[in-house]
Amino acid sequence: MSTHDLTVPVAPPAAPWRQRLGTMVPILVLAPSLAVSFIYVFVFTLWTLYLSLSNSSLMPTYGFVGLDNYASLWANRRWNIAYTNLFLFSGFYIVGSMAIGLLLAILIDQRVRGEAVWRTIFLYPLAVSFIVTGTVWSWLYNPVDGIQAFVRGLGWTDFSFALTANRNTAIYAVIITGIWQSSGFAMALFLAGLRSVDPDLIKAAQIDGASVSRTYRKVILPTIAPIFLAVAVIQIQFAIKTFDLVAALTRGGPGVSTTFPAIYVYDLMFQRGQIGEGAAAAMMMLAALAVVLVPYSLWIVWRRRAEGRNG
């Protein structure tokens, strides 16, 4: 039998309706979630924007008042304190959590014994909600039965650690607690970045006689620079949306010393019934997020296009 007599069976072409169905199934699966996301993000954002320009109080109304709610918001002393606290908290929280996270990542990157155990310990705070974290740390800061009472019971009767009881130090109690909560998250991202560095670069630096510290400063850390930016952006988002941590830890006090924008928005909308001004405050929070996320998104797009051009 010649090779020309051998025929390879060819599958019949798929029916047109099957092809169309195969194309439509992913769209049909994603359509509900995309529709809900569109409504949740864009429609509700536009509705909140309109409420911020209305005279809404206990219930939404649609009397247009322009920028009066924004003017009233920025004339309010408590809102200015809240925004000042946001910048103060964000600066210390981001720098502190990134510094501690990087230090922990470098230490674990030395291939220490029990690495999995250490990773679990450092990541544990991330698994705990901010409400639980705030509640536990409020006990620790409590001068009656917290750290202060424990140390004084050991004989140091002049020891003081009542951070949340003093309006001048309460914001630093929030910062310390936030750093404890998020350092493990920063460590995980930094460790992943350190482990992704090309070993040949490290070997080349070692052959050139570079010390460990110099290798990290001149070779490894510059290589993972995008990780630094990603961690900073994520931490800024956490800082801007801070609510439950403060609600559980200080409830915005003493007085209004630890009020944050999210706390003030909740108070305006659900405690005072000032929906219009609360919507204006929510839009200002959205603007703060946009200032961070929009440039970062544009940078990501530019970086990908640059990498695509360079092959």
Element (H, E) at 280: helix 275-309
CA angle (93 as vertex; 92, 95 as ends), nearest 5 = 65
| Per-position DSSP letters for 140-171, written without gaps between them | HH-TTTSHHHHHHHTT-TT----GGGSTTTHH
Integer Cα distance of 138 and 135 in angstroms:
5
Q: What is the dihedral of CA 297, 300, 301, 303, to 10 degrees?
A: 160
Q: How many residues does the chain have?
A: 311
- Burial track 85-95 (b if 16+ CB lie within 10 A, e otherwise): bbeebbebbbe
Query: Is 70 exceeded by the pLDDT of residue 7?
Result: no
Question: Mean pLDDT of all residues in the chain?
Answer: 86
* Partners of 164 in beta bridges: none
Domain boundaries, the chain: 2-52, 78-310
Contact of 108 with 100, CB cutoff 8 Å: no
Instruction: For residue range 250-282, list pLDDT tens digits in order.
Output: 988 898 999 999 999 999 988 888 999 999 999
Instruction: Specify the higher pLDDT residue, 60 or 3.
Output: 60
**pLDDT of 168-227, one tens digit each?**
999 999 999 999 999 999 999 999 999 888 888 888 888 888 888 888 888 888 889 889
For residue 134, which amino acid is it? Answer: G
Match 């409830």 to its residue by tokens.
251
pLDDT at 6: 53
Predicted local distance difference test score (pLDDT) of residue 50: 92
Task: Kindly state the tokens that stand for 294.
Answer: 């929009």
Cβ neighbors of 79 (< 8 A, separation 6 or more) are: 73, 261, 264, 281
Q: What is the pTM of this model?
A: 0.82
Neighbours of 258 (CB within 10 A): 24
pLDDT tens column, 23-57: 787 787 888 888 888 888 888 889 999 999 998 88
CA dist 138 and 146 (Å) reads 8
pLDDT of residue 173: 93
Separation between Cα atoms, residue 240 and residue 89, nearest integer Å: 9
- The verdict on domain 78-310 having CATH code 1.20.1250.20 is no
